[in-house]
Amino acid sequence: MYRRRDGALEVLLVHPGGPLWKNKDDGAWSIPKGEIDPTEDALAAAIREFREETGLEPRGLFVDLGQAKLKSGKLVRAFAFEGDCDPAAVQSNTFTMEWPPRSGRVQEFPEIDRAGWFPLAAARRKILPGLLPLLDALERIGPNRAESPGG
């Protein structure tokens, strides 16, 4: 999700939840993302994952930003849309993991623990390095080449 404030582009980034990310900030934020079901097209999956990770319904026209590769090797295909929200209203789905390690205790954590709006310069510091090409694509392409869900 992106918006314009005083003529400048801002992007909504999310911070991963769970104890492994708790004290990480610069270079740790992301976009809402997840796995594509083999029967889904990429835009449908992006809309679903955005909804699951934020509790918000993405609407409008979507810009295909292409792909970026994370350090883990995972490929991320991203779509941008113009919108606005209160980051404090974001409600994420959850995941479970054993924590502390080797304790035998399974705990539940939110997939994202917070969200925030960032101007592009700040977003470049906050986002996972592998996702930087997506910010570059948004700045380069802009909202001019948008498509409706489903094509």
Average pLDDT, the chain: 92
The rounded distance, in Å, linking the Cα atoms of 74 and 98 is: 23
Residue-wise pLDDT for 36-47, tens only, equals 888 999 999 999
In a domain, 75, yes or no: yes
Residue-wise pLDDT for 61-120, tens only, equals 999 999 999 999 999 999 999 999 999 999 999 999 999 999 999 999 999 999 999 999
In a domain, 149, yes or no: no
What pLDDT does residue 37 have?
Answer: 87
CATH code for the domain in which residue 20 is found: 3.90.79.10
pTM: 0.90
Predicted confidence (pLDDT) at residue 148 exceeds the cutoff of 50? no
In a domain, 59, yes or no: yes
How many structural domains are present in the chain?
1
What pLDDT does residue 7 have?
Answer: 83
Quote the domain boundaries for residue 78.
2-144
